[in-house]
């Protein structure tokens, strides 16, 4: 039997903002978000608990998108279109609104914009995955790997986590995901260096406006 009681948690309200190019975003702990669905019963096994968590995370993400679209863009909710698994969420109608949803271990990040393409990505500490060479080799171009190799371990993992959120957000904005090699999305040394000294999750909002790719860590 799997214990499903949630650990004690101080719910922190999600934070919201808007980038200088008009991407409205919301970030917070999806487990602390209100959800009308009942939690899994105490006798639930690990499969049921995992599925319930995935569904809850999905519901919260979609609700946040809906709230941003209606409250911040002032648009009547058009609803989500049905898309294949692993595809970028799409809204019904031809309103031109683009949306993106990302989750880390506990952090949820959503972004919406009335024009252009939006991609968001968040990674939670301690960024353990970014200590794996097999990942770094597949995500970084040679110069990015060379720069990261000069950094102390903890700084390197955060720097690589930031690089990943940029790459992933760009790929998500364009709707390709990992069908495109992330090594093709280049991250400059100044952007990598800026991650040092950061705290909390690493997260990126990308707004593609024509040929321009605007990267923000608001």
Partner 1 sequence: MNTDASTIEAWLEGRVVAYGKVDIGSFTPETPLAELGLDSVYALTLCGDIEDRFDLEVDPTIVWDHPTIRSLAHGIAGRLAAAA
Q: Which residues make up the interface to partner 1 (CB under 8 A)?
A: 2, 46-47, 50-51, 54, 85-86, 123, 128-129, 132-135, 137-139, 164, 168, 177-179, 182
Rg over alpha carbons for the chain, rounded to the nearest Å, is 18
| Minimal distance, residue 96 CB to partner 1, in Å | 26
| Minimal distance, residue 94 CB to partner 1, in Å | 28
| Minimal distance, residue 131 CB to partner 1, in Å | 10
Of 16 and 59, CB closest to partner 1:
59
Of 71 and 128, CB closest to partner 1:
128
Q: Which of 83, 33, 81 is nearest to 57 (CA)?
A: 33
Of 79 and 138, CB closest to partner 1:
138
Of 2 and 9, CB closest to partner 1:
2
In the chain, what is the greatest distance between 2 CA atoms, to the nearest angstrom? 54
Query: Tokens standing for 1?
Result: 């039997």
Of 98 and 123, CB closest to partner 1:
123
Crossing angle of the two packed helices 153-173 and 142-149, in degrees rounded to 10 = 150
Per-residue burial over 167-182, b if 16 or more Cβ lie within 10 Å, else e, is bbbbbbbbbeeeeeeb
| Minimal distance, residue 179 CB to partner 1, in Å | 6
51 and 62 in contact (C-beta within 8 Å)? Answer: no
| Minimal distance, residue 24 CB to partner 1, in Å | 24
**Where is 193: in which H helix or E strand?**
helix 189-193
């Amino acid at each position: 039997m799997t214990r499903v009681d949630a650990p004690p948690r101080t719910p922190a309200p999600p934070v919201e903002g808007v980038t200088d190019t008009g991407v409205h975003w919301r970030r917070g702990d999806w487990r602390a978000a209100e959800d009308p669905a009942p939690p899994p019963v105490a006798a639930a096994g690990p499969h049921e608990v995992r599925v319930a968590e995935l569904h809850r995370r999905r519901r919260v993400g979609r609700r946040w998108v809906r709230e941003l679209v209606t409250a911040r863009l002032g648009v009547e909710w058009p609803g989500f279109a049905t898309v294949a698994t692993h595809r970028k969420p799409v809204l019904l109608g031809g309103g031109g609104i683009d949306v993106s949803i990302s989750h880390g271990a506990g952090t949820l990040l959503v972004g919406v914009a009335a024009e252009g393409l939006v991609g968001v990505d968040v990674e939670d500490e301690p960024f353990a995955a970014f200590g794996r060479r097999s990942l770094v080799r597949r995500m970084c171009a040679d110069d990015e790997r060379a720069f990261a190799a000069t950094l102390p371990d903890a700084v390197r993992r955060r720097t690589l986590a930031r690089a990943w959120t940029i790459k992933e957000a760009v790929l998500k904005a364009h709707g390709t995901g990992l069908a495109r090699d992330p090594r093709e999305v280049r991250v400059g040394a100044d952007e990598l260096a800026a991650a040092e000294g950061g705290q909390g999750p690493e997260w990126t909002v990308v707004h593609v406006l024509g040929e321009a790719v605007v990267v923000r860590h608001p």
